[in-house]
């Protein structure tokens, strides 16, 4: 799109291939370090696919934040801010956060009734048999297909928009380096890649926030942003907003979006099982800050910078198709910081796409291994064989992603009858989402009433119970390093990629009474979050037709800053604290090796 491609194609290829290659090399290095300095060996399927059940809540939260941050989280949230004003960032953030908490409830329930399941689908197979299992495998792959196509085409569109890189090349190349590093790294290294992604993510978002609200001479303060938003509401009033203002929560479009974001995301995250309640709570509260901080900064900046002659296509600005493609953030980044801003946004987006793509690769390969190969092709397959299938699964889904990316790019560029503009309108999206969740609920409730059962979950609780003993492989353990890993507060890792089935480990914590308490706690927190985020905050603000004052807007910006700092603390600083003993031991051994005092 003319006007936003201010970086060269070389930068596009450099980012697409360079970041992937950097992470592949990093994975190789980390895997070598892990093999030399920790008791965990990558030759174990359990270590490759589930990091030997020893990941702590902060790092799990980081993995959740990383895999739940897509291109859309940064671009569509900003587009909502651009289209609807201050309610847009909130509606995106709240709508997509609540279900992370709801999922913690699911997670606790799974821990009670199928604690060793690798995937949701396994529970369905044991509980309801082969036919429902096959049906849900179809649903799982259909969901993975949709998410993969969204990730690849969203990533490719952004790279193309900012650099002019060929969209087909971008769509085909994006998944390849990600598959490489996922193959090399296994889950523990992928978790570390998530950590690095997340540190950059928060760093770049904070850079944009400080630039817009503190230092940049085009805006530089909440007060100036407020004045410019007041003027923008007069020059370009928002249809469906109270008095056309950008400073109100009475916004039809943002309200509808919040509901459909809640429902739509509920289906997406439900494809990924987990039992790490604490990790989900921490991750959910931290994730909220990403779309809120990003969209309150870049979405609103994209509105007020329309007055600046260096804005793309000035004075016309962005077309509605460009807004639907998520370009307001790109327009704001380059108007604020020229090529540097565009480059920072490109890296930010690419990191988001990479980590979510890696999660998708892990998830689909685990389903192929545990829901197709192990039960139907080779029951009783050895651990080595399952590890190989898991690797092959990653390669297979990488190829599928590249093909989907290519086909969907072709369809989008050739004006298919079903267009982004028509399917992304408020009412078609709301209708689709309500129908899908409504019909599923009706079937589940009616079915349970017609055919009630007092199922005792004995079979699902027995799932994989025999594999318990082989999960940690302490070959030549290095003294001290496994202290943290065996700590009772450790959280079993995501079995199914970085967003799958983590669970609180430790004998004392796994008593039925504790599990019941955890489930109750998760239910209370999720209900409170739903009521606060979806009702108590937005409904009075919307119903009263409140239009923000300067003080109100400054408070909104300060809350966004505080939340982003909290998020950065929870998923960037806290994991370092959690692993301080292991890190200091590992660095001690490295230092001993470097200085020639280590074991040979």
Residue ranges that bind ligand NC(N)=O, judged by CB under 6 A: 68, 70, 72-73, 96, 265
Min separation Cβ 70 and ligand NC(N)=O, Å: 5
- Closer residue to ligand NC(N)=O in complex, CB, 143/265: 265
- Closer residue to ligand NC(N)=O in complex, CB, 112/401: 401
For residue 379, with 0-12 CB atoms within 10 Å meaning exposed, 13-18 middle and 19 or more buried, which class applies?
A: exposed
Min separation Cβ 211 and ligand NC(N)=O, Å: 23
Instruction: Name residue, tokens 């921490």.
Output: 282
- Closer residue to ligand NC(N)=O in complex, CB, 54/297: 297
Min separation Cβ 72 and ligand NC(N)=O, Å: 5
Query: Using an 8 Å Cβ cutoff, are 497 and 363 in contact?
Result: yes
Query: Using an 8 Å Cβ cutoff, are 190 and 358 in contact?
Result: yes
Min separation Cβ 457 and ligand NC(N)=O, Å: 31
Min separation Cβ 359 and ligand NC(N)=O, Å: 11
- Closer residue to ligand NC(N)=O in complex, CB, 276/290: 290
Closest chain position to ligand NC(N)=O (CB): 73
Min separation Cβ 356 and ligand NC(N)=O, Å: 8
In whole angstroms, give the CA distance from residue 114 to residue 308.
57
Which strand (E) or helix (H) includes residue 157? helix 130-163
Task: State residue 547 phi and psi, 5-degree precision.
Answer: -115, 125
Residue in 490, 556, 491 with CA at minimum distance from that of residue 213: 556
Query: Using an 8 Å Cβ cutoff, are 25 and 459 in contact?
Result: no
- Closer residue to ligand NC(N)=O in complex, CB, 262/323: 262
- Closer residue to ligand NC(N)=O in complex, CB, 283/405: 283
Query: Using an 8 Å Cβ cutoff, are 160 and 4 in contact?
Result: no
Query: Using an 8 Å Cβ cutoff, are 104 and 528 in contact?
Result: no
DSSP structure class, residue 533: I
Min separation Cβ 92 and ligand NC(N)=O, Å: 7
- Closer residue to ligand NC(N)=O in complex, CB, 71/276: 71
Residue in 368, 360, 24 with CA at minimum distance from that of residue 189: 24
3-state secondary structure (DSSP) of residue 86: coil
Query: Using an 8 Å Cβ cutoff, are 361 and 179 in contact?
Result: yes
- Closer residue to ligand NC(N)=O in complex, CB, 151/229: 151
- How many residues would you count in the chain? 600
DSSP 87-120: HHHHHHHHHHHHHHHHHHHHHHHHHHH-TT-SSH
- Closer residue to ligand NC(N)=O in complex, CB, 150/547: 150
- Closer residue to ligand NC(N)=O in complex, CB, 13/145: 145
In whole angstroms, give the CA distance from residue 131 to residue 134.
5
In whole angstroms, give the CA distance from residue 205 to residue 564.
8
Give the pair of three-digit tokens for residue 487: 């700590």
Min separation Cβ 398 and ligand NC(N)=O, Å: 21
Min separation Cβ 419 and ligand NC(N)=O, Å: 22
- Closer residue to ligand NC(N)=O in complex, CB, 52/69: 69
Min separation Cβ 536 and ligand NC(N)=O, Å: 22
Which strand (E) or helix (H) includes residue 292? helix 289-294
3-state secondary structure (DSSP) of residue 275: strand
- Closer residue to ligand NC(N)=O in complex, CB, 54/76: 76
- Closer residue to ligand NC(N)=O in complex, CB, 290/402: 290
Min separation Cβ 9 and ligand NC(N)=O, Å: 28
For residue 30, with 0-12 CB atoms within 10 Å meaning exposed, 13-18 middle and 19 or more buried, which class applies?
A: buried
Query: Using an 8 Å Cβ cutoff, are 256 and 430 in contact?
Result: yes
- Closer residue to ligand NC(N)=O in complex, CB, 106/189: 106
Distances (CA, A) of 43 to 383, 388, 389: 9, 10, 13
Give the pair of three-digit tokens for residue 382: 């050895």
Query: Using an 8 Å Cβ cutoff, are 267 and 436 in contact?
Result: yes
Residue in 295, 352, 311, 288 with CA at minimum distance from that of residue 85: 295
Give the pair of three-digit tokens for residue 65: 């934040």
Cα 426 from chain centre: 23
Give the pair of three-digit tokens for residue 324: 């639907």
């Amino acid at each position: 799109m003319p006007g936003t491609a201010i970086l060269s194609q070389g930068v596009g290829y450099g980012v697409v291939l360079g970041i992937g290659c950097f992470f592949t090399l990093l994975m190789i290095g980390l895997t070598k370090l892990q093999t030399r300095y920790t008791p965990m060996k990558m030759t174990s399927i359990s270590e490759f696919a589930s990091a030997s059940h020893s990941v702590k809540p902060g790092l799990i939260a980081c993995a959740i934040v990383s895999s739940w941050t897509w291109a859309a989280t940064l671009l569509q949230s900003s587009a909502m801010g651009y289209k609807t004003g201050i309610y847009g960032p909130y509606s995106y953030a709240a709508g997509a956060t609540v279900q992370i908490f709801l999922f913690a409830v699911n997670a606790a329930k799974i821990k009670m009734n199928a604690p060793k399941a690798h995937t949701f689908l396994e529970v369905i197979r044991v509980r309801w048999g082969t036919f429902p299992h096959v049906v849900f495998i179809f649903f799982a792959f259909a969901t993975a297909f949709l998410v993969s196509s969204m990730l690849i085409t969203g990533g490719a569109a952004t790279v193309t928009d900012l650099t002019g890189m060929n969209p087909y090349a971008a769509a085909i190349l994006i998944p390849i380096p990600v598959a490489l590093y996922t193959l090399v790294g296994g889950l523990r290294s992928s978790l570390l890649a998530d950590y690095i992604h997340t540190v950059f993510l928060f760093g770049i978002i904070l850079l944009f926030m400080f630039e817009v609200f503190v230092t940049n001479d085009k805006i530089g303060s909440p007060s100036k942003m407020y004045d410019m938003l007041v003027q923008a509401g007069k020059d370009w009033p928002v249809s469906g907003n109270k008095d056309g203002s950008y400073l109100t929560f009475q916004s039809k479009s943002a309200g509808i979006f919040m509901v459909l974001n809640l429902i739509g995301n509920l289906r997406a995250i439900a494809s990924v099982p987990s039992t790490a309640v604490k990790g989900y709570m921490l991750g959910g509260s931290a994730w909220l800050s990403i779309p809120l901080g990003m969209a309150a900064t870049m979405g609103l900046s994209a509105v007020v910078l329309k007055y600046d002659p260096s804005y793309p296509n000035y004075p016309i600005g962005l077309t509605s198709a460009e807004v639907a493609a998520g370009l307001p953030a790109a327009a704001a980044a380059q108007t604020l910081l020229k090529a540097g801003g565009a480059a920072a946004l490109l890296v930010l987006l690419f990191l988001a796409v990479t980590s979510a793509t890696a999660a998708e690769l892990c998830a689909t390969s685990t389903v192929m291994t545990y829901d197709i190969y192990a039960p139907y092709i080779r029951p009783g397959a050895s651990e080595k064989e399952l590890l190989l299938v898991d690797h092959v699964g990653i390669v297979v889904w990488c190829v599928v992603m590249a093909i989907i990316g290519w086909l969907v790019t072709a369809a989008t560029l050739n004006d298919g009858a079903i267009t982004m503009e028509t399917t992304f309108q408020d009412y078609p999206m709301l209708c689709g989402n309500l129908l899908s969740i409504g019909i599923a609920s009706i079937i589940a409730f009616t079915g349970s009433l017609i055919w009630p059962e007092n199922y005792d979950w004995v079979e699902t609780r027995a799932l994989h119970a025999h594999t318990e003993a082989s999960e940690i492989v302490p070959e030549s353990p290095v003294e001290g390093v496994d202290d943290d890993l065996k700590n009772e507060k450790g959280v079993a890792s995501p079995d199914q990629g970085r967003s799958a089935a983590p669970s609180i480990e430790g004998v004392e914590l796994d008593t039925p009474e504790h599990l019941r308490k955890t489930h109750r706690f998760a239910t209370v927190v999720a209900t409170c979050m739903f009521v606060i985020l979806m009702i108590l905050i937005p409904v009075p603000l919307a119903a009263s037709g409140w239009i923000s004052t300067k003080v109100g807007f400054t408070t909104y910006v300060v809350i966004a800053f505080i939340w982003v700092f909290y998020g950065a603390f929870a998923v960037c600083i806290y994991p370092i604290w959690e692993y301080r003993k292991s890190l200091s031991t590992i660095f001690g051994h490295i230092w001993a090796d470097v200085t020639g005092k280590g074991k040979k």
